[in-house]
């Protein structure tokens, strides 16, 4: 069996190695148009910032090591420029030699990946404007930094690559401005959770400009001018464009393969395309969103590796199927860790899914053991069915393991209330006897049992301030004095509530808040036991203050941005 694989890195290289493990006699050839067959794509920003010092560490496999271990013929700097499905051949261009040739196949795997979106801006080809997608891009950017010693940089795009590049440039002492056209960074997160990311970015000296689009680049007295849609110009020494990627599917389109969303290659759950004996994997392939069941593009290494393995299994006679991706991801943002899995509120709303949520601020481990850090968790579930939809966590320690538990629960089809029953490892340095994931389950269980009703951040502007409801803050007097209070709320500390309950008007609903949601829940149970209808604020005042402060910072940055020239 002759197998040709177009593209390496996660999907193609995984498929090649898996095919060899399943079929010792297959003739396997991999064509990769870059100079590297398998590299640590996610590590590229950290080489720029000096966290990774040896560039050889970025290369996971070489053509020589692939051949030595697997007897796979890997040809780098070879671009497949045409496919003839009728004759089962591909046309290959040897980039270095400038010659083309044909290669026959019995099975063909397409793993072309995605290419950076590079808008047709004026000045986009300036040598001081960079993208970051492969090893060559990384070396070019690193060489410029080492030789030109830039003092000011603009990073355009607030996704994974944009944030990681901004962080690593800031680590080098470069004055960084991060420009994002959307109202928030990191689209997988809801805007309220993104507020914590924004705060960390700003805290580390990065100027954050949201809802600002770049219009082009120009020379500005010898420096690089980055023109914004608002009319301002940011003066810098370099810019990195990281506004996303698009499936690199021109080859597939020319061959007549059926395309999916955003020009991706349509595949079934066996990773088979519309043309027999041709498979597609990785960033170029359309997959299914595991939560919604709808077509999706998920440009992450984990799904690409799984897809490569599944394609290889089916090529070798097995029956492997991909159930879809849920976008489980994690990112380091300076000191913070931010992680997400499944869908967010915005997606649930657009898909017509009735979603509810709990928001909590647990410690990473037992509070009495030194060094515990707060994290903020948001867990989404479907109303009525309690089907788990997604989760977002932002904090310091222990974020990654909690998101992995929640990702596993979603994959297993568990109900949100089942989180309360999970038997998770506990020792004081690592967790609490009631793990944060269990706590989320307890909170959702209370909602199901009718023990608590919630009100949310988005409800605050519409709360009546006319006396028809009672607005109650149960934090301490000192907390309210130092941290502020929501407009119209009165303060009765929870430990004084039973003795002062006569101060609350009877027959009126009570909207209650504390710092994190725990004391307000206790207060809610006290008041419910006395006949009051009570609504507990999801997330607590700490959560509210973070979001409100982020909005104020964004407004100030927007005003300042207009004077950037």
State the pairing for strand pair 129-130/238-241: parallel
Close Cβ partners of 262 (under 8 Å, ≥ 6 residues apart): 246, 247, 297
The answer to whether residues 226 and 214 touch, using CB atoms and an 8 Å cutoff, is yes
**CA separation, residue 99 to residues 34, 78, 115, 311 (Å):** 16, 10, 24, 30
- Angle (deg, nearest 10), helices 160-171 and 191-203: 20
Tokens of 264: 């991706």
Q: Given strand 454-455, what is the order of strands in its sheet?
A: 454-455, 534-537, 510-513, 470-473, 490-491
User: Phi, psi at residue 53, to the nearest 5°?
Assistant: -100, -25
Phi-psi region of 415 (alpha: psi -120 to 50; beta: other; left: phi over 0): beta
Query: Distance (Å, rounded) from C-alpha 444 to C-alpha 461?
Result: 25
Helices (H), ranges, 399-517: 399-411, 436-448, 477-483, 497-500
Catalytic residue among 42, 514, 553, 560: 42
- Residue 202: which of 378, 374, 336 has the closest Cα? 336
- Residue 166: which of 151, 150, 154 has the closest Cα? 154
Active site residue 42: yes
In the chain, % helix, strand, coil (3-state, to 5) comes to 35, 25, 40
Identify any residues that bridge with 225 across adjacent strands, giving them in sequence order.
Answer: 218, 235
**Residues labelled catalytic:** 42
């Amino acid at each position: 069996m002759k197998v040709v694989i177009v593209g390496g890195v996660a999907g193609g290289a995984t498929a090649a190695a898996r095919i060899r493990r399943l079929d010792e006699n297959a003739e396997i050839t991999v064509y990769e148009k870059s100079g590297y067959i398998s590299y640590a794509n996610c590590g590229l920003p950290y080489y720029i910032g000096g966290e990774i010092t040896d560039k050889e560490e970025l290369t996971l496999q070489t053509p020589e090591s692939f051949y030595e271990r697997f007897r796979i013929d890997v040809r780098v700097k070879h671009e497949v420029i045409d496919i003839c499905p009728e004759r089962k051949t591909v046309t290959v261009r040897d980039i270095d030699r400038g010659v083309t040739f044909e290669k026959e196949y019995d099975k063909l795997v397409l793993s072309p990946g995605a290419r950076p979106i590079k808008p047709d801006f004026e000045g986009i080809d300036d040598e001081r404007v960079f993208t970051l997608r492969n090893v060559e891009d990384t070396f070019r950017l690193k060489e410029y930094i080492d030789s030109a010693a830039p003092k000011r940089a603009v990073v355009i795009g607030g996704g994974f690559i944009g944030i990681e590049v901004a962080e690593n440039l800031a680590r080098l002492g470069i004055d960084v401005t991060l420009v994002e056209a959307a109202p928030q960074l990191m689209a997988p997160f809801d805007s309220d959770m993104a507020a914590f990311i924004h705060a960390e970015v700003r805290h580390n000296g990065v100027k954050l400009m949201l809802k600002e689009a770049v219009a082009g680049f120009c020379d500005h007295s010898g420096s690089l001018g980055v023109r914004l849609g608002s009319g301002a110009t940011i003066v810098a020494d370099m810019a990195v464009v990281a506004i996303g990627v698009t499936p690199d599917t021109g080859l597939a389109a020319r061959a007549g393969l059926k395309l999916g969303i955003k020009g991706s290659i349509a595949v079934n759950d066996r990773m088979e395309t519309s043309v027999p004996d041709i498979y597609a994997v990785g960033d170029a392939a359309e997959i299914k969103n595991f939560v919604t069941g709808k077509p999706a593009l998920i440009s992450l290494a984990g799904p690409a590796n799984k897809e490569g393995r599944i394609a290889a299994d089916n090529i070798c006679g097995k029956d492997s199927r991909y159930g879809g991706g849920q976008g489980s991801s994690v990112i380091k943002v300076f000191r913070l860790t931010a992680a997400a899995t499944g869908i967010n509120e915005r997606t649930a709303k657009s898909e017509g899914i009735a979603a509810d949520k709990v928001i909590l601020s647990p410690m990473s481990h037992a509070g009495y053991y030194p060094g515990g850090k707060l994290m903020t968790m948001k867990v989404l579930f479907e109303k009525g069915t309690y089907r788990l939809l997604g989760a977002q966590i932002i904090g310091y320690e222990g974020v990654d393991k909690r998101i992995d538990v929640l990702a596993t629960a979603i994959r297993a089809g568990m109900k949100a209330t089942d989180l309360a029953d999970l038997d998770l490892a506990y020792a004081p340095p690592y967790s609490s006897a009631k793990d944060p994931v269990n706590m989320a389950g307890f909170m959702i269980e209370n909602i199901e049992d009718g023990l608590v009703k919630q009100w949310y951040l988005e409800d605050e502007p519409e709360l009546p301030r006319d006396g028809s409801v009672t607005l109650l803050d149960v934090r301490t007097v000192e907390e309210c004095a130092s941290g502020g209070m929501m407009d119209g709320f009165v303060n009765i500390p929870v430990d004084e509530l039973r003795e002062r309950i006569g101060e609350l008007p009877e027959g009126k609903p009570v909207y209650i808040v504390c710092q994190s949601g725990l004391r307000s829940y206790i207060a809610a149970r006290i008041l419910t036991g006395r006949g009051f209808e009570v609504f507990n604020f999801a997330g607590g005042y700490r959560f509210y203050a973070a979001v409100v402060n982020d909005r104020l910072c964004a407004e100030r940055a927007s005003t300042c941005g207009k004077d950037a020239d």
